[in-house]
Amino acid sequence: MRIGIDVGGTFTDLVLVDDAKGETFYAKVSTTPGALWEGVLEGLDKVLGLASAGMDQVDYVVHGTTIGTNAIIERKGAKTGLITTKGFADVLEIGRIQRPGTGLYDFWVDNPLPLVPRYLRLEVSERVDAQGEIVTPLNETEAENAILALKREGVEAIAVSTLFSFLNPVHEQRISGICRELFPEAYISLSSEIAPEFREYERTSTTVMNAYLQPIMNRYIAILQDKLNAKYGEVDLRIMQASGGTVTAETAERLAIATVNSGPAGGAIAGAFIGKLTQTSKTINVDMGGTSFDISLIDDGTPKITSDAKFEGYPVKIPIIAIDAIGAGGGSIAWLDRGGVINVGPQSAGANPGPACYSRGGVEPTVTDANLVLGRLNPDYFLGGEMKLDVGKAQQALEEHLATPLGISVEQAAAGLIKIVNANMAKGIGVNSVEKGYDVREFALVAFGGAGALHVVELAQDLGIRKVIIPALAGNFSAFGLLVADARHDYVRTVAKEISEVDCSMLSALYSDMESMGRAQLSDEGFKGDDQELQWSMDLRYQGQSYELNVPFARRENITVLDLQNAVKSFHQLHERLYAFSEPAEKVQLVNLRVAALGKTPPVQLTPASGFSTPDSGLKGERQVYFNGHGFITTKIFERGRLPQGSTIAGPAVIEEKIASTVLAPCNRLEVDRYQNLVITVGEGL
């Protein structure tokens, strides 16, 4: 058995997979802000009870967390200092001398302030050149003075990022050693360990962010591990990374930056799993929870991983799944701007107080309140009836904040709120797909999260997408994705040479060195032989470009010139597909070599459903449900768990389950496949 835990802003989701019996159990509990482990422990008790199992039967627990994400968003990380090469203290401020992309239209927008203020960014005399040779030895007295100064200022963490340390880390390592002697309680992050590749600004930013998050992540993981061990005995705790792979809790404490966006990464991995299960190689995955709407794209069956991304405006140089997130969840709050126009989000009611209908003190209207008023949610069947929703409070919130000021009915206000949040989500999907050269009509839309299936059919109609998939366990699907994910460790070496100047034997040696590190790490974690998989790739660019593309590179014992030529051909083809042009006559530069070391986890085996071609056994009644363009319609309500394989349902309909509800608009058709996925055909005249 194994358990996946995804702690969201509103709910904590858990999935337990029993590999021996091929069974899956799930639970959803309210997130407990301020003491997240309490919700985790409550959820574990609940899901273990459903499975009639004890923790001693569980091999490991995988945890996706929003701790790091929230700390960055709210600027509540640790007080952090930076030690860098003399003359480079302002790298974080200077950056790329660019304003954010939105600054093209918004004159007031600016880059976020550095996570380390100027007075905590200290310099030391040292210099390593672009070949990794020491030009100026480290001035250890200056290093000691800098460390003691940061200690007096009360910093918790110190980031160390010196020039060209990715080629020769000796000075960073010595600074770390001095810090262990003079300031042993400080958390130390070295750029040569966190992001050992070129680009001074991005490398420094990544290292600073890791230091900023490290004390917070360490405290949380330590408390959670202690609570688990005290309650259940020794528990093998693993943490999800933004790259879509898992690491041990000990590794996560060192690489805190890798845990940011770990929950949504689980959703992307789960989306790829469903794509393979339904033989759909191109999917756009949308995860709508209580706080955010996360979007990821799967092409050719695999999530897109990038090493050039940003968290809250701060660049990071670690491999992460490309995920866009907007503030559009079930708890997103609706409000009127100065012009009297309805806006939705990004503010969320979260878990506390939550939407008005939760009766926990929330008074502002949210997306969940609107769905309830429009009949899309069953007030007596939320979380399978464990939580009652108050329709009156939802109506009151909509009336006071939207309907009365606008002079419209409560139902009109709710419908308008839904239209606006749908438009926001459609725009977010477009940014993740259309703006990157993809035709959304070639993709299926896979929707999950507690609120995703309420909106996805209307989204597909707006975008011209013809196929929608609502997977089983949709409400807890990101937690399920944590169990599909393999263990993963990433390694990088900067080469920065034109292809014709590259020494093939040097490349073979660099790849071999990274492979050895990866195999050793996986072996330490218990992955042996066939359970280890090494993947090679390289970053290439045209000479003079300021960005590069990652190209897969087949593993070779001895790399040849022909192998490099084939990689260059792949680069030209990829450049052509992404940017509609390529230039084979241009010189190509090899920037970085990369190795991903994967520890393969047992595949999750889903038991195919059996049944008949009639959905009558799942019909549980009718109620009035509002649909855009139609108003309120008498709509059939089905229980998803009682729908047999092969069932077909024509809209309008609502398919309810304990942790989610699917709204099937008129002129759409749904079929239940052999794995209990709801496959919806979208289009007029069906």
pLDDT tens digits for range 274-317: 988 888 889 999 988 877 788 888 887 788 888 878 887 888 89
Is residue 436's pLDDT more than 90?
A: no
What's the confidence (pLDDT) of residue 686? 43
Most confident residue range from 145-154, 384-393, 461-470, 573-582: 145-154
pLDDT at 610: 59
Q: What is the pLDDT of residue 134?
A: 96
CA distances from 469 to 7, 446, 451 (A): 24, 5, 14
Average pLDDT over residues 91-113: 82
Residue 612: pLDDT over 60: no
H or E segment to which residue 589 belongs: strand 588-599
> In the chain, pLDDT over 70 holds for what percent of residues?
98
Confidence of residue 613 (pLDDT cuts 50, 70, 90): low
For residues 35 and 178, the model is more confident at 178
List, by residue range, all CATH 3.30.1490 domains of the chain: 489-599
Residue 301 CA: distances (Å) to CA of 20, 179, 270, 275, 313 = 27, 46, 11, 7, 29
State the number of CA atoms in the 13 A half-sphere of 172 facing the CB. Answer: 27
Please give the full DSSP string across 360-385, using - where no structure is assigned. Answer: SS--S-BHHHHHHHTTSS-TT-BGGG
Q: What is the pLDDT of residue 385?
A: 83
Q: Residue 684: what pLDDT?
A: 52
**Phi, psi (deg, nearest 5) at residue 666:** -55, 155
Q: What's the CA gap between 379 and 25, in Å, rounded?
A: 24
* Dihedral angle sign, alpha carbons of residues 120, 125, 131, 132: negative
CATH number for 75-214: choose from 3.40.50, 2.60.120, 3.30.460, 3.90.550: 3.40.50
Mean pLDDT of 454-460: 92
Instruction: Judge whether 157 and 212 are in contact, CB under 8 Å.
Output: yes
Tokens of 623: 């109620």
Q: What is the pLDDT of residues 47-62, one digit of tens each?
A: 999 999 999 999 999 9
Q: Tell me, which fold does domain 489-599 have in CATH?
A: Dna Ligase; domain 1 (3.30.1490)
What is the pLDDT at residue 391?
93
d(CA 586, CA 575): 12
Q: Is the pLDDT of residue 121 over 90?
A: yes
Give the mean pLDDT of 512-525.
Answer: 93
The pTM score is 0.84
Q: To which residue do tokens 């209580």 refer?
A: 290
**pLDDT at 542 (0 to 100):** 95
Name the nearest CA neighbour of 27 among 9, 40, 38. 40
Neighbour order of strands in the sheet with 187-190: 121-124, 80-85, 157-161, 187-190
Angle, CA of 524, 529 and 531, to the nearest 5°: 80
Short-list 118, 133, 119, CA closest to 163: 133
Stretch among 143-157, 343-357, 483-497 having the lowest mean pLDDT: 343-357
Cβ density class 595-626: b for 16+ within 10 Å, e for less: bbbbbebeebebeebebeeebeebbeeeeebb
How far is the C-alpha of 685 from the C-alpha of 328, rounded, in Å? 30
pLDDT at 685: 40
pLDDT tens string 626-683: 998 889 999 999 998 888 888 889 879 999 988 889 999 998 999 988 888 999 999 7
What Rg value do the Cα atoms of the chain yield, rounded? Answer: 26
**Whole-number average pLDDT of the chain:** 89
Instruction: Give the residue carrying structure tokens 């910093």.
Output: 155
For residue 47, the model assigns a pLDDT of 94
Numbered ranges of CATH 3.40.50 in the chain: 75-214
* 84 vs 91: CA distance, rounded Å: 9
Q: Residue 588 — pLDDT band, cuts 50, 70, 90?
A: very high
Across 565-581, b (16+ Cβ under 10 Å) vs e yields eebbebbbebbeeeeee
pLDDT at 614: 65
According to the model, what pLDDT value does residue 185 have?
A: 96
Q: What is the mean pLDDT of residues 347-368?
A: 87
Q: For residues 80 and 159, what is the distance between their CA atoms, to the nearest angstrom?
A: 7
- Mean pLDDT lowest for which of 174-178, 241-245, 506-510? 241-245
* Per-residue pLDDT, 71: 82
Distance of CA 77 to the CA centre of its chain: 19
The per-residue pLDDT for 609 is 63
Q: Strand, helix or coil at 538? A: strand
Residue pLDDT, tens place only, 100-109: 777 777 788 8
Identify the pLDDT of residue 330: 85
In this prediction, residue 305 carries a pLDDT of 83
Query: 679 CB contacts (<8 Å, ≥6 apart)?
Result: 278, 467, 468, 469, 670, 671, 672, 673
Model confidence at 491: pLDDT above 50: yes
Number of H helices, E strands in the chain: 17, 35
